[in-house]
Amino acid sequence: MHRTRRHALSIFATASAVGALLAAGVGCQAFATQKPGGRMASLDQHTYVSDTYSPKTVRLVDTRTLEEIWSVDVPVDHKLVIKFYDNTSKGNHENPSIMRWEVFPADMWGTLLDNQMPVPSKHARRIEWEHRTGPEFAPDETPQPLDIMPEGGLETSRVGG
């Protein structure tokens, strides 16, 4: 009887360890939602990363009027995360959904999306983005001019006349 109980405890411990590993794997995948490509699921969440050779501007357009209702120039070495929540703006028939967004450093895993605004429903909005003319540099990366002239300048006179 004592051996059976020990065996049952061993099976329970093994199952608990496997369950914890599976839960950790699922939890780690949740961090993958705020990177380009996200979780490869239809979560109505979008991430745009700007870098030196690919700075981005993102716009939200109301397709009923073709009016640009929101835009942001994503700074270099930063990313923009946008997430839509449908039918959550109570009493607002023109813009029944909520868009939450945040711009933060590209090397951060994720953040809460602190900014929000009412937006048209999913059938009446469109996200547009474009590359800005680059390259652009992050504020702490601005290249310094290179002085190619030696001290004292160059001798430009001809020898011998």
47 within a domain of the structure (yes/no): yes
What total of structural domains would you count in the chain? Answer: 1
Q: What is the dihedral of CA 8, 9, 12, 16, to 10 degrees?
A: -170
User: Is 82 inside any structural domain?
Assistant: yes
Nearest-angstrom CA–CA distance, 34 and 32: 6
Contact yes or no for 97/86 (Cβ under 8 A): yes
**Residue 59 domain flag:** yes
Tens of pLDDT, residue by residue over 27-55, are 444 455 666 656 556 678 999 999 999 99
Q: Is residue 17 assigned to a domain? A: no
Give a yes or no: residue 10 inside a domain. Answer: no
Q: What is the pTM of this model?
A: 0.65
Domain containing residue 54:
34-139
Confirm whether 99 is domain-assigned: yes
Note the pLDDT of residue 14. Answer: 67
- The whole-angstrom distance between residue 21's C-alpha and the CA centroid of its chain comes to 27
Per-residue confidence at 140, pLDDT binned at 50, 70, 90? Answer: confident
